[in-house]
């Protein structure tokens, strides 16, 4: 029997997936996860070894590369690939574990999207209330002034004066509604806990892994090796990160550079942690820059223009700061800085350009 490389056998032993090596009709090696699923001795006929697992023996007959369901309820997928001219690697995937993992990812995503939607509604309420308060207050003052002047100049215009009274009443009512929305949204305080900013970056990226892959974005991560503790609301901070990353992805998709890249860097500077999200997209014009953090200013066909203003207020709720700079080699860079929760134990990292 042709010997297979000892390093390869060692590597199989290190892997968590259930793997076996076949030489023609014979089983020559199997690692511990495979042994747990399909026990047996090497050196014998592969078909004999496979017989106890329903459908595995016929899966061994399937063409190379094909995925074949086996197990009583089809809970495993078997796939074989050629290792060399003689040897074939067999992989068994436990579909239940894979589906369970997938379901958890979908649940996490759904959970974040749900919270992020309800946060956005609340933030939007707050922004709308803030924006509408001013013109409604001004309208009420104008109407009151007009009524006073009319009453002075034409005291007998009773119909007009009554209509102005009604208009003032309506505007006052609108302003009371806005007052209530503001009260409600301002009472929403962050649900703070001790968080690791490094883990938060990884979790946010995991939620966007599909989008990053689809856009074939090259991701550069420069994160401290140790946790970076901050006091904060995990959902709110994750919402900020996801918003910045989504904006970068949008920019890279709308005006795609040759090699789209996103660069994430977390630096510790004194008592603050500064996170930067940079991209090599088209960047922004000075006009867009001037309105970047104003609500309802967007250059996207379906953009609401609320993301950055909401992100800034979320970071400010955490005693932090969010700002923009131009990336040296072209593109945008968004920064936010937050106070580090246990500053004394954190070494300061070197700054990189």
Whichever of 280 and 346 has its CB closer to ligand ADP, that residue is: 280
Which of the ranges 67-75, 111-119, 260-268, 298-306 carries the binding residues for ligand ADP, by CB under 6 A? 298-306
Say whether residue 332 binds ligand ADP (CB under 6 A).
Answer: yes
Say whether residue 314 binds ligand ADP (CB under 6 A).
Answer: no
**What sections of 187-306 are H helices per DSSP?**
197-207, 209-214, 234-254, 286-291
Task: Choose, by CB under 6 A, the member of 154, 180, 300, 351 that binds ligand ADP.
Answer: 300
Say whether residue 305 binds ligand ADP (CB under 6 A).
Answer: yes
CB of 232 to ligand ADP, least distance (A): 20
Task: Choose, by CB under 6 A, the member of 40, 71, 260, 307 that binds ligand ADP.
Answer: 307
Say whether residue 33 binds ligand ADP (CB under 6 A).
Answer: no
CB of 291 to ligand ADP, least distance (A): 8
Which of the ranges 43-51, 91-99, 145-153, 303-311 carries the binding residues for ligand ADP, by CB under 6 A? 303-311
Which of the ranges 35-43, 47-55, 79-87, 295-303 carries the binding residues for ligand ADP, by CB under 6 A? 295-303
Rounded Cα distance, 68 and 77, in Å: 5
CB-CB contact of 29 with 12 (8 Å) = yes
List Cα–Cα distances, 252 to 204, 289, 322, 323, in angstroms.
18, 18, 21, 20
Backbone angles phi, psi at 216, to 5 degrees: 50, 50
Residues near ligand ADP (CB under 6 A), total:
19
Q: Which residue has the tokens 């550069």?
A: 220
Q: Lay out the site mask for ligand ADP across 237-256 (x = CB under 6 A, - = otherwise).
A: ------x---xx--x-----
Whichever of 93 and 299 has its CB closer to ligand ADP, that residue is: 299
Task: Choose, by CB under 6 A, the member of 304, 317, 343, 349 that binds ligand ADP.
Answer: 304
Helices (H) and strands (E) in the chain, counts: 11, 12
- Token reading at 24: 């023609």
Say whether residue 308 binds ligand ADP (CB under 6 A).
Answer: yes
Task: Choose, by CB under 6 A, the member of 23, 233, 265, 279 that binds ligand ADP.
Answer: 279
Q: For the chain, how many residues are written?
A: 353
Say whether residue 284 binds ligand ADP (CB under 6 A).
Answer: yes
Pick from 106, 320, 107, 336: which is nearest to 244 by CA?
Answer: 336
CB-facing half-sphere around the CA of 96: CA atoms within 13 A: 6
Say whether residue 232 binds ligand ADP (CB under 6 A).
Answer: no
Rounded Cα distance, 149 and 140, in Å: 14
Whichever of 71 and 281 has its CB closer to ligand ADP, that residue is: 281
Rounded Cα distance, 175 and 180, in Å: 9
Whichever of 103 and 325 has its CB closer to ligand ADP, that residue is: 325
Which of the ranges 100-108, 138-146, 292-300, 315-323 carries the binding residues for ligand ADP, by CB under 6 A? 292-300
List Cα–Cα distances, 293 to 49, 79, 122, 177, 321, in angstroms.
65, 52, 18, 26, 12
DSSP string, 293-327: TSTT---STT--S-HHHHHHHHHHHTT-EEEEEE-
Say whether residue 116 binds ligand ADP (CB under 6 A).
Answer: no
Say whether residue 257 binds ligand ADP (CB under 6 A).
Answer: no
CA gyration radius for the chain?
31
Tell me which residues touch ligand ADP (CB under 6 A).
Answer: 243, 247-248, 251, 279, 281, 284, 288, 292, 298-300, 303-308, 332
């Amino acid at each position: 029997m042709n010997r297979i490389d000892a390093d390869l056998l060692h590597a199989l032993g290190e892997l968590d997936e259930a793997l076996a090596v076949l030489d023609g009709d014979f089983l020559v090696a199997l690692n511990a996860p495979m042994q747990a699923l399909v026990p047996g001795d090497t050196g014998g006929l592969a078909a004999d070894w496979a017989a106890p697992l329903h459908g595995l023996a016929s899966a061994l007959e399937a063409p190379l590369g094909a995925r074949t369901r086996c197990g009583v309820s089809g809970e495993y997928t078997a796939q074989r690939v050629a290792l060399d001219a003689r040897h074939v690697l067999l992989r068994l995937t436990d579909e239940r574990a894979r589906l369970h993992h997938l379901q958890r990812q979908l649940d996490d995503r759904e959970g974040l999207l749900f919270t992020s939607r309800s946060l956005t509604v609340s933030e939007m309420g707050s922004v709308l209330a803030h924006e509408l308060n001013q013109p409604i207050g001004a309208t009420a003052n104008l109407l009151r002034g007009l009524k006073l002047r009319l009453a002075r100049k034409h005291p007998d215009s009773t119909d007009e004066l009554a209509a102005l009274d009604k208009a003032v009443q309506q505007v006052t009512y609108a302003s009371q509604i806005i007052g209530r929305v503001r009260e409600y949204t301002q009472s929403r305080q962050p649900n703070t806990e001790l968080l690791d900013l490094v883990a938060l970056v990884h979790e946010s990226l995991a939620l966007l892994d599909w989008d990053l892959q689809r856009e074939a974005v090259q991701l550069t991560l420069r994160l401290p090796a140790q946790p970076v503790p901050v006091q904060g609301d995990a959902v709110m901070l994750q919402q900020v990160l996801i918003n910045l990353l989504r904006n970068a992805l949008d920019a890279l998709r709308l005006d795609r550079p040759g090699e789209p890249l996103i660069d994430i860097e977390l630096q510790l500077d004194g008592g603050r942690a500064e996170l930067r999200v940079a991209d090599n997209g088209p960047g922004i014009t000075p006009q867009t820059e001037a309105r970047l953090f104003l609500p309802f200013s967007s250059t996207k066909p379906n953009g609401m223009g609320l993301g950055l203003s909401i992100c800034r207020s979320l970071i400010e709720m955490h005693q932090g700061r969010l700002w923009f700079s131009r990336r040296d080699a072209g593109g945008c860079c968004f920064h936010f800085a937050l106070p580090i929760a246990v500053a004394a134990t954190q070494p300061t990292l070197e700054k990189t350009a």
